[in-house]
Chain A
Amino acid sequence: MSEPRKQYVRPLDLKHGRVDMAHGAGGKAMAQLIHELFARHLGNEWLDQGDDGAVLPAPAPGEQLVMATDSHVVSPLFFPGGDIGCLAVHGTINDVAVMGARPLWLSAAFILEEGFALADLARIVESMAAAARKAGVPIVTGDTKVVERGKGDGVFITTTGVGALQAGRRIGGQRARPGDAILVSGSIGDHGMAIMSEREGLGFASPIVSDTAALHGLIEAVLATGADIRVLRDPTRGGLGTTLNEIASQSGVGMLIEEKALPLNPAVAAACEFLGLDPLYVANEGKLVLICAEPDVEKVLGALRGHALGREAAVLGTVVEDAHHFVQMTTSMGGRRIVDWLTGDQLPRIC
């Protein structure tokens, strides 16, 4: 009698294989994709159960849950400094974290396009796994669907995050008050320009790298100072300019910022100049806008600068009274102008 065989299933060809419709059909091919790719990299005690959902512990008494969701459709899928995988992890962690909550778990839903290279998918899943591991936020449940060729763009990823909010902590876009200080954790526009230069093949001599990062550590460091933090937000699509307008409108206040105070990476400044873009409206994926009570500015700035992600943090200006909720800026020339909402689409499909 011959030796007993180890297995009859031929493993996924992660080198040359491609996604086909069977990978989303609910049968054996889908099970194999989940087992050999998703579970292998993302595995944890919840995902390994193989159930339809994850059973999670209740928050501590007095804590509240925070939930946020984010879809990612970035093109190109791989860009300097990251890819759609880590971006999908960071994006949702940040949405939970800027609520002042401690991110606990993520879900991930993939829409794959028929014909998408499994090697690329593997790279993306590995990147998600690494990002989730580094952030300490496991992906506990997921889903995979496949659409016909031409009906997607390789892969779209939706992640949802759940976090726990400490009792008594109140952070939100409505809480900015005249006199408060406005801060940003570092240089603006890096992510958007990284995507742009990659997409258009601009080939700048000094490559611009996306700032994609999970911000919950930085936020925890700031909150630990006990400072009176009014608003936290990550200025993603629409950039810093749009984020400040959102907050001004939610809080019913105006803002006055200084152009000279804006932290700007010289390569991004040059690329924006070259393309006629305003860095105030270029996306970030690892920056924090923070509004705090004025007396706490030094404390907050110290905490930001003491963290690897906040070394270039700066005070941008002040919240002011304004019935029209304008964000205004003193220009480098000494004149004044509005920093308006972004109009139209400076740059589509960036996250």
Chain B
Amino acid sequence: MKYIDEFRDGDLARNIARSIAAEADPAREYRFMEFCGGHTHAISRYGLTDLLPPNVRMIHGPGCPVCVLPIGRVDQAIRMALEHGVILCTYGDCLRVPASDGLSLLKAKARGADVRMVYSTQDALALAQKHPERQVVFFAIGFETTTPPTAVAIEQARALGLANFSVLCCHVLTPAAIIGILESPEAKAGGVALDGMVGPAHVSTVIGSAPYEFVPERYGKPVVIAGFEPLDMMQAILMLVRQVNQGRAEVENEFTRAVTPDGNRKAQALVAKVFQLRPEFEWRGLGTVPDSALKLRPEYAAFDAELRFPLPYTPVPDHKACECGAILRGVKEPRDCKVFGTVCTPETPLGSCMVSSEGACAAHYTYGRYKDLAA
């Protein structure tokens, strides 16, 4: 496959691995967090940790949209479908996120809720046009990558005068999550010693590389923005090792084929036109983070599902035994969680990290759990 195989060249990967092994100082440990679930998935799927020396460790970050989605938001979506009879559309990964009362959107569907999986906001819009007699709600989740398409759909709905389309907006912001990690109680207490961060791939195509400058400036940590292909990851890790060795802390861009310093200005303008900051938003794992999520501007209130179907947001604590929070903050690893692989499996997820293939627990369970077991 052209444009894909070039970034999955095993020989080249082994060359980079040799450089990493040669340049990494055996006297110290390197702890890098890959922010995105896409990176986590690539590491696990391609077995990249096997190519790294033991003193270069990857810590899985919170950049998995469904993993940071709090239970209360899924509850809201389920209630819109069950109590208000709406057609609830969302991306496939959302369907299995555990909610209250042992429900998920998928289980609510089996109880009669009209839940539809869509591939894009355009599918949801088409459903609204096809069913003018029904209310169609798009459950909008994700970081800056999925936000512009939601803005487009809202603009289109307004242009079409669609009175039966609205959005339950749960879009969240990457820089706020990075602050959440670096300011977490554990980080302040020295519990998460990060030496650097692999910066987002797709998110950065939208926001650019400039918004990460605060990480080296304020926290003294290097950031290397990387694509989701395995060679991107390997190269980014090598670049991080070099920054650490040379005592540098800068934002570097490995993903130059898609990311510019300024990002996609058109998308940013559209997002700014339709959305505004929420004063605060609850994240799974990170708690309530100020200025970390978006809601519709008052001019677009007609398309705000939270206003159309008044369902108060009720925060719901995670299951007591679930370590998703600590795992999302990089404090714990999946194998440190008592319920990992026993009560909590991809078939019966207790926590959200076990739901999406981008979640740290699901990735480790699906691709790497053999490493935890004695032969």
Contact = CB atoms under 8 A, between A and B. Distances in A.
B4 interface: yes
Contacts of B256: none
B45 A337 contact: yes
A75 B367 CA distance: 31
Nearest to A348: B117
A226 interface: no
Interface string B352-365: 00000000001001
Contacts of A328: 370
A334 B14 contact: yes
Interface string A264-278: 001001100101000
Interface stretch (B48-56, B146-154, B178-186, B304-312): B48-56
B366 A200 contact: no
A331 interface: yes
Max count, chain B CB within 10 A of own CB: residue among A322, A335, A344: A335
A331 B1 contact: no
Nearest to A346: B92
A270 B1 CA distance: 7
B214 interface: no
B298 interface: no
B366 A340 contact: yes
A224 interface: no
A324 interface: yes
B346 A343 contact: yes
A323 B347 contact: no
B373 A324 contact: yes
B375 interface: yes
Contacts of B46: 331-333, 335, 337
Nearest to B366: A340
A79 interface: no
Interface string A249-291: 0000000000010000010011001010000000000000000
B230 interface: yes
A328 B366 CA distance: 11
A246 to B, nearest CB: 16
Nearest to A275: B119
Nearest to A276: B357
A105 interface: no
Interface in B22-52: 44-51
Max count, chain A CB within 10 A of own CB: residue among B14, B48, B367: B367
B366 A333 contact: no
Given A266-B1, A273-B1, A323-B375, A334 B50 contact: yes
A326 interface: yes
Interface string B96-122: 100000000000000000000001000
B47 A337 contact: yes
B4 A337 contact: no
Contact of A338 (B1, B230, B367): B367
A253 to B, nearest CB: 14
Mostly helix, strand, loop or mixed at chain A's interface?
loop
B47 A336 contact: yes
Contacts of A269: 1
A117 B150 CA distance: 39
Contact of B366 (A273, A275, A330, A343): A343
Given A338-B370, A343-B366, A333 B1 contact: no
B358 to A, nearest CB: 10
Mostly helix, strand, loop or mixed at chain B's interface?
helix
B248 interface: no
Contact of B44 (A273, A275, A337): A337
B347 A332 contact: no
B44 A333 contact: no
B13 A343 contact: no
A269 B4 CA distance: 10
A335 B49 contact: yes
B370 A324 contact: yes
Contacts of B96: 344
B13 A333 contact: yes
Interface in B320-375: 346-347, 362, 365-370, 373, 375
A337 B8 CA distance: 16
Contacts of A340: 365-367
B346 A331 contact: no
A333 B8 contact: yes
B181 to A, nearest CB: 26
Nearest to A322: B375
Given A333-B48, A337-B46, A344 B368 contact: no
A266 B2 CA distance: 10
A335 B1 contact: no
B10 A333 contact: yes
A323 B375 CA distance: 7
B346 A344 contact: yes
B369 A338 contact: yes
A334 B49 CA distance: 10
A335 B51 contact: yes
A333 B230 contact: yes
A338 B366 contact: yes
Interface of A: 200, 260, 266, 269-270, 273, 275, 322-324, 326, 328, 330-338, 340, 343-344
Give me the 4 closest cross-chain CB pairs, A-B, nearest first.
A335-B47, A335-B50, A343-B346, A337-B367
9 contacts: A270-B1, A273-B1, A324-B373, A328-B370, A333-B8, A333-B13, A334-B51, A335-B51, A337-B45
Given A275-B119, A338-B367, A344-B96, 16 more contacts: A200-B119, A266-B1, A270-B1, A270-B4, A323-B375, A331-B45, A332-B46, A333-B8, A335-B48, A336-B50, A337-B47, A337-B367, A338-B369, A338-B370, A343-B347, A343-B362
